[in-house]
Amino acid sequence: MEHGTADPRRRVPRTDEVLNDPRLIAAAGRLGRAPVKAAVIAAQQLARAGDLDPAAVADTALATLPATPGGLLPVLNATGTVLHTNLGRAALSAAAIEAVTAASGHTDVELDLATGRRARRGRATLTALAAAVPAAGAVHVVNNGAAALVLAATALAAGREIIVSRGEMVEIGDGFRLPDLLESTGARLREVGATNRTSAADYAAAVGPATGFILKVHPSNFVMRGFTSAAGIGELTGLGVPVVADIGSGLLAPDPLLPDEPDAAGALRAGAALVVASGDKLLGGPQAGLLLGEAALIERLRRHPLARALRVGKLTLAALHATLEGPATPTRRALHADPDVLRDRTTRLCERVAAAGVDATVTPSAAVVGGGGAPGLELPSWALSLPERYAAALRTGRPPVAGRVEKGRLLLDLRCVPAVADDTVHAAILAASSAAGG
Ligand SMILES: *Cc1c(COP(=O)(O)O)cnc(C)c1O
């Protein structure tokens, strides 16, 4: 190099100079000035340390900019876990994405355009939800399943008792436990039964003047086997107090693929006064908490002051509506994906990367539903098997590809990767191959 002996720090271009590059000006117009400036400063530091040609500062800053604004990187989910909590659970359908975009400006979320008067917020979405579950007298939507439980506990049992089985005092993840959540509302928990067995008589013996409601919680992230029994909703409806069913998953109607997952319609038909569920689990929609049940109870929840603090935004209402009425969600398509088609896609991908010298094989894989429901259920699937060192390179590549490591190999299961993204996965593996050293 011509100036090889000169101090490289002298030749590193100034921040303002680099920021004047037309490509970076355009990027700042799209992403904002802060991330562009941060990328430039990071590239300058590399150049000062002698790890980057000072002439390449602008190029490097450009290459390290996020592809999208928003601070969240889109990730290709090749883990084989359909509802991966750390990857944001359900992926929205194209219809839901279009609905979110359409609702992102000013919308008629609370205005009746025909009369020019204020209208019930999100009425079209609530109508769609009610239509999807005719067994519900009325419906309401809040921010997530936990918020739905908090609203029910506050409005129906603050200062009173919630009767719950010791086998259903569950932790939902990241250290959050339903009993703590419920007690935070001022309701008292009246625990009944044993961890493995609770009978209808246990509930009946606990019912009294202080009872707010009986809570049935679906164990959505664990399975209990052996000497177990639990009382069904139908056995608890004659006790003179409402039964609230937290079904977790958000299945509105039964899915034959998931025989052990409760659904909202079934719980209501069994006699639950109120059903609580998540919007971004098996329903495949946005993060939301669904409340379905007796009209009088729903009206009490809707009118409670806390409801205002838990209300959903217009983007959620739009995405939920499109999820309820639109075509099959990515969640549903991933759950019902044909294993033979998955094997064909995986085999083609394997042939392509093997031809480029990558140590790859095709192997059977057991996909799972994930934190959103159906614990213990395995979905027969296929995976591309790569050396373990590809895991970090693929995870930190652009776009990131998340797989799972099993027995010293990285497995990429295409069940939750849209087929149109197979070329992207192919390119990511080749890029990772250079990064991971072949
Ligand atoms: C997931 C889950 C919750 C919490 O719902 P969020 O939407 O995550 O707030 C509550 N109860 C059960 C049974 C669940 O599975």
What's residue 2's pLDDT? 44
d(CA 142, CA 149): 10
- Residues sharing a CB contact under 8 Å with residue 198, sequence separation 6 or more, in sequence order: 165, 166, 167, 168, 192, 229, 230, 231
For the domain covering 76-88+332-435, report its CATH number: 3.90.1150.110
Spacing, Cα 277 to ligand 1 middle (Å): 7
**What are the boundaries of each domain within the chain?**
8-64, 76-88+332-435, 94-327
CA-to-CA distance for 430 and 356, rounded, in angstroms? 8
Summarised one tens digit per residue, pLDDT across range 32-54 is: 999 999 999 999 999 999 999 99
- Residue 10's pLDDT is 67
Minimum CA distance residue for ligand 1 atom 11: 248
The pair phi, psi for residue 141, each rounded to 5°, is -130, 135
- The two tokens of residue 341 are 């088609």
Find the 251 Cα to ligand 1 centroid distance in Å.
13
State residue 173's pLDDT score.
81
Does 246 contact ligand 1 (Cβ within 6 A)? Answer: yes
Give the residue from 318, 274, 313 showing the smallest Cα distance to 93.
318
pLDDT given for residue 71 in this prediction = 87
pTM for this model (two decimals): 0.93
Q: How far is the CA of 372 from the centre of ligand 1 (A)?
A: 8
**Distance (Å) from CA 278 to ligand 1 centroid:** 6
What letter would DSSP give residue 150? H
Beta-bridge mates of residue 289: 142, 278
Residue to mutate (ligand 1; options 149, 178, 215, 220; most atoms within 8 A of CB): 220
- For the chain, the C-alpha Rg in angstroms (whole number) is 26
Regarding the beta carbon of 21 and ligand 1, being less than 6 Å apart is answered no
Element (H, E) at 325: helix 314-325
CATH of 94-327, one of 3.30.460.10, 3.30.460.80, 3.40.640.10, 3.40.50.1000: 3.40.640.10
C-alpha 239 – ligand 1 centre gap (Å): 26
Among protein residues, the one whose CA lies closest to atom 14 of ligand 1? 248
For residue 346, CA distances in Å to 98, 139, 352 come to: 30, 42, 10
Neighbouring-strand partners of residue 163: 190, 214
Query: pLDDT per position in the chain (438 positions), as tens?
Result: 444 445 655 689 999 999 999 999 999 999 999 999 999 999 999 999 999 999 999 999 999 998 888 889 999 999 999 999 999 999 999 999 999 999 999 999 999 999 999 999 999 999 999 999 999 999 999 999 999 999 999 999 999 999 999 999 988 888 889 999 999 999 999 999 998 999 999 999 999 999 999 999 998 888 888 889 999 999 999 999 999 999 999 899 999 999 999 999 999 999 999 999 999 999 999 999 999 999 999 999 999 999 999 999 999 999 999 999 989 999 999 999 999 999 999 999 999 999 999 999 999 999 999 976 788 899 999 999 999 999 999 999 989 999 999 999 999 999 999 999 999 999 999 999 987 666
Pocket lining: 314 vs ligand 1, CB cutoff 6 Å? no
Nearest-atom index, ligand 1, CA of 289: 7
Q: Give the relative orientation of helices 123-132 and 314-325 as an angle to the nearest 10 degrees.
A: 30
Q: What is the distance between the alpha carbons of residues 9 and 45, in angstroms, rounded to a whole number?
A: 9
For position 126, what pLDDT does the model report? 98
Terminal Cα-to-Cα distance of the chain (whole angstroms) = 29
In angstroms, the Cα distances linking 284 to 135, 160, 279, 367, 420 are 21, 35, 7, 17, 20
Could you tell me if the CB of 145 is within 6 A of ligand 1? yes
Assess whether the C-beta atom of 57 lies below 6 angstroms from ligand 1: no
Element (H, E) at 306: helix 305-309
Model confidence pLDDT, tens digit, residues 135-190: 999 999 999 999 999 999 999 999 999 999 999 998 888 888 999 999 999 999 99
207 touches 235 (CB < 8 A): no
For ligand 1, atom 6, the nearest C-alpha belongs to 145
Please give the pLDDT value at position 225: 87
Ligand 1 close to Cβ of residue 316 (< 6 A): no
